[in-house]
Structure 1
């Protein structure tokens, strides 16, 4: 008998539509038909059941999270309980990602993409469906944002005064498209940037004996990677206050606007030849008034600015 996917009827939500999409990308449940019901007999007969049924039993492919006593999280580093999307992703995510990217399950890059996709994408589904606020209870947002994926899925439900519908594949397509795009970005853009930053970090003592300047071979988003790699390799943040492709200061955290060591105050807000005369470095273009970034017409000049700034 062909496998079937069962989920609940009535109002649909982002988590079970993503769970269905993920299952339909696996070899076991590839393009399996979806039944929406609350009939226990139909639920019990399903090959795989998500977001309904009152039990979490992976060996039987039962993935509900509503029952009393359910406390499953993604791993011991995460505290938010899993929704049906998180449960299915935890058990099938590696296979789904490998299928989307055409990678082998033994590919060493797979685990990084699997973990990163949970943090950046899946955990949000878990938090929303389990009613976990992003902010402390005493903080109220100043405006509403109706463009989140959960909001968009909710809007695809029939209005209260329209006839109900059991159609779900449109919603599965919506959540599935965003998941696929996130996986592709993580694997094909985020991961190559990490490799560039890791190479720059490893070679920092070749750039300057102090190891305090990191040079990248090309531009890439680097802030998150640098902080993560410093933690992984137990590198103290004071070892690298500057990066040199364009001259940028390293922030105290990826989200921070406070630099570990801002560019010299005397250079800030000065441009072009006036800055070259002041610094004694040819080709200077500018240093931002806040001291977090500077520019030079050559890479060698940017490096010279970074070296000189270390001692100022």
Structure 2
């Protein structure tokens, strides 16, 4: 998923980088947990995702897949047991396989690189994968139009841009907090560095104090905030600076080296 470069320096480099419908429940150390919600629809289909802590990604993915005709009203099974997963009709965010022909929608495996296309180049989350293959069907039913209608494609891209792409972006934050806990990283990571897929600029973002909070652990320096371009580069003493947000939660540079220099300099404030 990412390089571990910079952990000891207090920043994290990403090479790439709530709506929680009532589909999930906290487990009490259960290995397998199955349930269904929503309208009472007779179905034999079963949707699988991992147990334990759940996130926006797989919760949204389960919500979306159950809006399709194929999996309407399907039972949700939460497990990591590969033998159980093999028996299920669709599996997302677990299992280490992406194969739309078998309705397998994981994105954690080595070598994964699926994107939406149509100018979007960010790797997809599991919810993004479900949307890629079932989104037009869902939108067509909602708008009561034929799936081939040109407006369906327009809405499909618009919904991805304003909603699903945000989920893809936010997913790295959850992985970062999980990584810190698993690796017992102390002191915690202050910044992440990643490239914006569209502008190709490099961004340095302050890590929030927790997944559900907006406050940053260490915002970018106050003398930089609200500045841009040459004025910012002069103030920071770093060439290629593009901007720093007024709150200090994010800034940008034209190059990776420049973003790295901004992160390192910020740690000294």
Distance, in Å, in 1 between the alignment partners of 2:56 and 2:208 is: 24
How far the C-alpha of 1:81 sits from its partner, in A, is 0.6
Cα pair distance change 1:105/1:138, threshold 3 Å: closer
Matched, 1:26 2:68: yes
CA RMSD of aligned residues (A): 2.6
**Pairs aligned (count):** 148
| Structure holding more helix per residue | 1
How far the C-alpha of 1:80 sits from its partner, in A, is 1.2
Matched, 1:140 2:182: no
Identify which of structures 1 and 2 has the higher relative contact order when contacts are C-alpha pairs closer than 8 Å and 6+ apart.
2
Q: What does the per-residue CA deviation read over 1:32-70, in whole Å, with 9 as the maximum and x for residues that have no partner?
A: 010000111110101000000100011011000000000
Runs of 4+ in 1 over 6 A off after TM superposition: 141-145
Cα pair distance change 1:130/1:75, threshold 3 Å: farther
How far the C-alpha of 1:104 sits from its partner, in A, is 2.0
Matched, 1:62 2:104: yes
Cα pair distance change 1:138/1:44, threshold 3 Å: same
Calculate the TM-score normalised by the size of structure 2. Answer: 0.50
Q: What does the per-residue CA deviation read over 1:133-176, in whole Å, with 9 as the maximum and x for residues that have no partner?
A: 6794545389989479xxxxxxxxxxxxxxxxxxxxxxxxxxxx
Match of 1:100 among 121, 126, 142: 142
Match of 2:165 among 94, 119, 123: 123
Distance, in Å, in 1 between the alignment partners of 2:78 and 2:211 is: 29
Unaligned runs of 5+ in 1: 149-312
Cα pair distance change 1:145/1:63, threshold 3 Å: closer
Cα pair distance change 1:31/1:147, threshold 3 Å: farther
| Structure holding more strand per residue | 2
Note the 1:226-245 alignment, pairs <5 A.
Answer: none
Distance, in Å, in 2 between the alignment partners of 1:142 and 1:62 is: 32
| Structure 2 equivalent of residue 15 of structure 1 | 57
How far the C-alpha of 1:127 sits from its partner, in A, is 1.4
Distance, in Å, in 2 between the alignment partners of 1:57 and 1:139 is: 33
Note the 1:119-268 alignment, pairs <5 A.
Answer: 119-131=161-173, 136-140=202-206, 146=212
Calculate the TM-score normalised by the size of structure 1. Answer: 0.44
Highest CA radius of gyration, 1 or 2?
A: 1
